[in-house]
Structure 1
Amino acid sequence: MRPTRTAARTVIALDVGGTFVKGGTLADGATALGHADRWYTRADRGPEAVLETVLACAEELAGHCPDAEAAGIAVPGIVDEESGLAVLAANLGWRGVPVQDWLAEHLGLPVAFGHDVRAGGLAEARAGAGRGCDDFLFVPVGTGIAAAAFSRGRALTGGHGAGGELGHVVVRPGGDRCHCGGHGCVETVASAAAIARRYSRATGWHGITAGEVRRRADRGDTVAAAIWAEAVEALADALATAVTLYDPERLVVGGGLARAGEAYVAPLREALARRLTFQTMPEVIAAELGDRAGCVGAALLAHDLLARRQAAAS
């Protein structure tokens, strides 16, 4: 049994992505991570190897924070937050993986489990660009693309836990095949992985990141400029659909590409405005927490779990 503590409680948190597993610690009442780290996911090794990596990362974090009282983990794809099940995470190869149970058993701690994008949106809602806004969309653009819709301050999960899969809105029918099995999803055009892949395919250059494609576009590379512009236009197509459906007050753009700030957000804002007719144009701004949002959100879920347990015991 862990001793009762008088100091601020601390949790560990993991945000599992297609490229990196990001981890950190968060004290109660804080909004900035304490110890933070990241590890390559290397999803090409298969689903079991990815799970082993996640457990090893959690154990390493626990070693840095031996007094942690809970853990939080956020994963991509379709999740069942009630049962702690990763129903389908295509980028990780996970199908029906009981992530919450396995992590709790491995660490010997209570574990909060959530969707990576909704966790990131929660972090932005409480400590970032979503503050003071009841109805907003959080859209991280990284290895993949998704969205979290917040209405009256609460995340919408959908009837089957699959709400917010913006990356699989078809914007280019008959286009490239997507991980989901469809063709022409916005994720195949506008994600960081797609931008890098399409540039490599067009030029023969390999090992190029989306950030490098943008820098080459800025230096006058016409191929890079065309691929970057098409990514912005395709994302604007998908966002126009989302705005029509959800009518958000604010659209918070996060993920790796949003690190470019107004250089990325301004053209996206303009492209979205051109597509809207009767819809009210939302405020479009960059997220404030960057790629830490999912990890901070997972930690907040863990603190919420501890608070519920304390309330139930009192």
Structure 2
Amino acid sequence: MTQQALVGVDVGGTRIKVVALARGAADGTATQDPTPLAEAVLPTPRDIGSRMGEVVREAVDALHVEASVAAIGVVVPGLVEERSGLARYSANLGWRDLPVVEHVRAATGVEVGFGHDVRAGLLGESRYGAARLRDDVLFVPLGTGVAGALLSGGRLVLGSEWTGEIGHVVVDPAGPPCGCGARGCLEVVAGAAALGRAWSEVTGQRVGADDLAHAVAQGEKRAVALWQHAVRVLTDVVAPVLAGAGSRLLLLGGGLSNAGSLLTEPVTERLRLLMPGREIEVAVASLGDRAAALGAVALAADALAADALAADALAADALAADALAADALADDALAADAPARDTVGAEEQS
């Protein structure tokens, strides 16, 4: 029997990450952080919005897996409506109301799962990584952008296309301009890219967030002040989300999470100040930049399971319809026999 694979495709602003798992490993119960059948990283074409289906098909073909592809999961940034299969808007990739599921299904001929890249990152961590077997989690990747995703009662919260957009909470109205049109949004103050730019301005050198973290670890006063401010505004934004959702685990990802305890410890300390009596675990995501692609694999598995359930429901409906038709025929036959029985009864009485 030919092995089947599930493929996850994470479409980013500059790169497309693709990963394939054996179908049996993709349910997340057999192994944590499973070994992929194949992985690939490709440049994101500038015209991806006009040929999404073709680009995804080419990305899957680039894996050269011998297994047959049973389903594909595709995740994208921006404003996303999972239920309708639409990518509503992406400033970086230049699309509006793109019917991703429709285009990919037409190009590949297989079942398609679809989602938001940050929510997919949490799904990946939940199935295969640091949030495995945890039910109530807030996942916040701190990279070029900042966003949030929630797992509540073991279920991924989808909400509206705006769900999770915490990176655009204004934390400093006089702060740097943001791509959304506002100034001082969380992601341009506390994101990894933003902190790299801020530290470059301080040092006069082209450096990144990792360099800032190294300087913080060395006790450099300017670096410590910049870091403490970022930690404060980040924690002040996520604390109400944690409180409202009842989350027990705050999972930090993205480039800034490479700082490890340098980040998690001060965040934990401030959460204790802001949320007395609540013990929130703060941890670093374990899957790195594979999280969203692995989450896309999980979406592919879910789409396949949903398709099987729909097929079973149709079969059950057909059986029920056949049974009703048989009952109706039996009733018609009884009704047709009734006059004959009445005649016979009348003759016997006379």
Asked if TM exceeds 0.5, the reply is: yes
Is the alpha carbon distance of 1:49 and 1:71 closer, same or farther for their aligned partners in structure 2, counting shifts above 3 Å? closer
Is the alpha carbon distance of 1:29 and 1:235 closer, same or farther for their aligned partners in structure 2, counting shifts above 3 Å? farther
Identical aligned pairs, as a percentage? 41
Report SS of the residue matched to 1:29: helix
Report SS of the residue matched to 1:214: helix
Q: Following superposition of structure 1 onto structure 2, how do residues 1-314 of structure 1 map, counting pairs within 5 Å?
A: 6-30=1-25, 31-32=33-34, 33-41=36-44, 48=47, 55-56=54-55, 58-63=57-62, 64-65=64-65, 67-158=68-159, 160-206=160-206, 208-219=207-218, 221-277=220-276, 280-314=278-312
The answer to whether the Cα contact below 8 Å between 2:272 and 2:278 also exists between their aligned partners in 1 is no
Q: Aligned partners of 1:199, 1:281: CA distance in 2, in Å?
A: 32
Is the alpha carbon distance of 1:179 and 1:121 closer, same or farther for their aligned partners in structure 2, counting shifts above 3 Å? same
The answer to whether the Cα contact below 8 Å between 1:137 and 1:147 also exists between their aligned partners in 2 is yes
What is the TM-score normalised by the length of structure 1?
0.85
Is the alpha carbon distance of 1:202 and 1:163 closer, same or farther for their aligned partners in structure 2, counting shifts above 3 Å? same
The answer to whether the Cα contact below 8 Å between 1:41 and 1:53 also exists between their aligned partners in 2 is no
What is the TM-score normalised by the length of structure 2?
0.77
Greater mean alpha carbon deviation, residues 102-111 or residues 231-240:
102-111
Equivalent pairs, count: 302
The answer to whether the Cα contact below 8 Å between 2:53 and 2:106 also exists between their aligned partners in 1 is no
Report SS of the residue matched to 2:173: coil
Say which one has the larger Rg: 2
* 1:295 shift after superposition: 0.7
* 1:59 shift after superposition: 1.0
After superposition, the CA RMSD in angstroms is 2.5
Alignment gaps of 5+ in structure 2:
26-32, 313-350
* 1:172 shift after superposition: 1.8
Q: Aligned partners of 1:60, 1:257: CA distance in 2, in Å?
A: 28
Is the alpha carbon distance of 1:173 and 1:162 closer, same or farther for their aligned partners in structure 2, counting shifts above 3 Å? same
Q: Aligned partners of 1:54, 1:294: CA distance in 2, in Å?
A: 19
Is the alpha carbon distance of 1:146 and 1:51 closer, same or farther for their aligned partners in structure 2, counting shifts above 3 Å? farther
The answer to whether the Cα contact below 8 Å between 2:135 and 2:153 also exists between their aligned partners in 1 is yes
Q: Aligned partners of 1:169, 1:190: CA distance in 2, in Å?
A: 11
Report SS of the residue matched to 1:266: helix
* 1:219 shift after superposition: 4.1
Q: Aligned partners of 1:215, 1:41: CA distance in 2, in Å?
A: 31
Is the alpha carbon distance of 1:107 and 1:178 closer, same or farther for their aligned partners in structure 2, counting shifts above 3 Å? same
Which structure shows the higher helix fraction? 2
Q: Aligned partners of 1:49, 1:275: CA distance in 2, in Å?
A: 44
Alignment gaps of 5+ in structure 1:
1-5
Q: Aligned partners of 1:38, 1:232: CA distance in 2, in Å?
A: 32
Letter in 1 for 2:274: R
Partner of 2:329: none
